[in-house]
């Protein structure tokens, strides 16, 4: 779908250039030419190497680890585009970091999800395209348009094709019921809830399970895998309760700390994730136990529709 007058341009930083390239392949566009490097002291040095005056610019950058580097690169790239007279700047953020703190649950703590929204708008972002935000209320932290997509259709289609018999979709914590119900509806599967208690950012424990899991195949669904504690703890208890094979699906494969070791030692036989962020080398060591599906077509199609002022809502696929 070639675009008239060279009006749409996609740029990327170092967060996930492969995803940006895949989106460009889908859109049949060359990736915008920009240099993203470092000054000797570590400061970010960006130069946009082509004319963007009056153009519709999309900057693809997940703010995944290294979070601060990726966030700052995005802000600096937005500043460069703004000062180069881009007509409109859309930040395409397939993974929105600093999302954990979205409210004050105790005194003297920040709301970092709002802070990041403020920084993006202040830098010059006109709209945001996000994927599987950790909390949907983050949309309201922006007073500019934000399109919130879900990787759900990509992940769900995959499991539909596998046609796993006697399937029960399980959420590793109560907060994920909505997502699990959406999967179970489409896959015509049962539904189970694992009662997870978060003990610390790295540790969680499992209390009880609601739903029939004995002698069933299980699909655990979550928005992200960070330390792997939630999924591995849930899988162990599901197995103890008599589950057969356990699969897992998650949008964002963050895989930090002990995640790989935990997943490797868990009874999960296969994990399916997306390329919203790059799969780090430790996670790649999981070999055949992990499969990455691309969200580049979903994001590319959304970029196309935003650029053409067409509806994006049919891509939302309600959960």
Active site residue ranges: 196
For CA atoms 276, 278, 281, 282, the dihedral sign is negative
Name the one range near ligand R5P by CB under 6 A: 110-118, 162-170, 225-233, 238-246.
225-233
| Nearest residue (CB) to ligand R5P, 38 versus 100 | 100
Cis? peptide before 58, omega within 30° of 0: no
- The least CB distance from residue 135 to ligand R5P, in Å, is 8
224 forms part of the interface with ligand R5P (CB under 6 A): yes
The least distance separating ligand R5P from the CB of residue 313, rounded to whole angstroms, comes to 24
Q: In which element (H, E) is residue 287 found? A: none
Closest to ligand R5P by CB, 135 vs 186, is 135
Measure the CA–CA gap between 127 and 88, rounded to whole angstroms: 8
Q: How far lies 125's CA from each of 15, 78, 96, 219, 273, in Å?
A: 18, 7, 15, 38, 28
Smallest separation (angstroms) from ligand R5P to the CB of 219: 15
Nearer to ligand R5P, 62 or 172 (CB): 172
User: Two tokens at 79?
Assistant: 């500043």
Q: For 187-222, b where at least 16 C-beta lie within 10 A, e where not — what string?
A: bebbbbbbebeeeeeeebebeebebebeebbbbbbb
* Sites for ligand R5P among residues 170-209 (CB under 6 A): 172-173, 175-176, 204
Q: Which helix (H) or strand (E) holds 9?
A: strand 8-12
Identify the residue among 64, 184, 226, 296 touching ligand R5P (CB under 6 A).
226
Q: According to CB under 6 A, which one of 227, 266, 274, 294 is a site residue for ligand R5P?
A: 227
Please choose, out of 83-91, 152-160, 224-232, 294-302, the segment that lies near ligand R5P by the rule CB under 6 A: 224-232
Q: Which residues bind ligand R5P (CB under 6 A)?
A: 172-173, 175-176, 204, 222-230
């Amino acid at each position: 779908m070639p675009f008239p007058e060279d009006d749409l341009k996609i740029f990327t930083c170092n967060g996930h250039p492969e995803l940006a390239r895949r989106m460009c392949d889908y859109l049949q566009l060359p990736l915008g030419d920009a240099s993203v490097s470092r000054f000797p002291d570590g400061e970010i040095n960006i130069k946009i190497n082509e004319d963007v005056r009056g153009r519709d610019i999309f900057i693809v950058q997940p703010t995944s680890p290294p979070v601060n580097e990726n966030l700052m690169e995005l802000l600096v790239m937005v500043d460069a585009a703004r000062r180069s007279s881009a007509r409109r700047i859309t930040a395409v953020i397939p993974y929105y970091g600093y999302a954990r703190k979205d409210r004050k649950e105790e005194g003297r703590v920040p709301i970092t999800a709002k802070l990041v929204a403020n920084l993006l708008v202040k830098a010059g972002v006109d709209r945001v395209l996000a994927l599987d935000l950790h909390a949907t209320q983050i949309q309201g932290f922006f007073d500019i348009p934000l399109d919130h997509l879900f990787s759900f259709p990509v992940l769900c289609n995959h499991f539909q094709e596998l046609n796993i018999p006697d399937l029960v979709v399980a959420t590793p914590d109560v907060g994920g019921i909505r997502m699990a119900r959406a999967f179970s509806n489409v896959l015509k599967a049962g539904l189970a809830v694992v009662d997870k208690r978060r003990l610390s950012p790295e540790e969680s424990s499992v209390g009880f399970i609601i739903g029939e899991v004995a002698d069933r195949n299980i699909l655990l669904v979550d928005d992200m895998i960070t330390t792997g504690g939630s999924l591995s703890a849930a899988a162990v208890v599901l197995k103890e309760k008599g589950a057969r094979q356990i699969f897992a699906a998650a949008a964002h494969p963050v895989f930090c700390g002990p995640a790989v070791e935990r997943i490797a030692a868990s009874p999960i036989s296969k994990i399916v994730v997306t390329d919203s962020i790059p799969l780090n080398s430790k996670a790649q060591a999981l070999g055949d136990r992990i499969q990455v599906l691309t969200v580049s077509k979903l994001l590319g199609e959304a970029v196309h529709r935003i650029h053409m002022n067409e509806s994006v809502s049919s891509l939302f696929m309600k959960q």
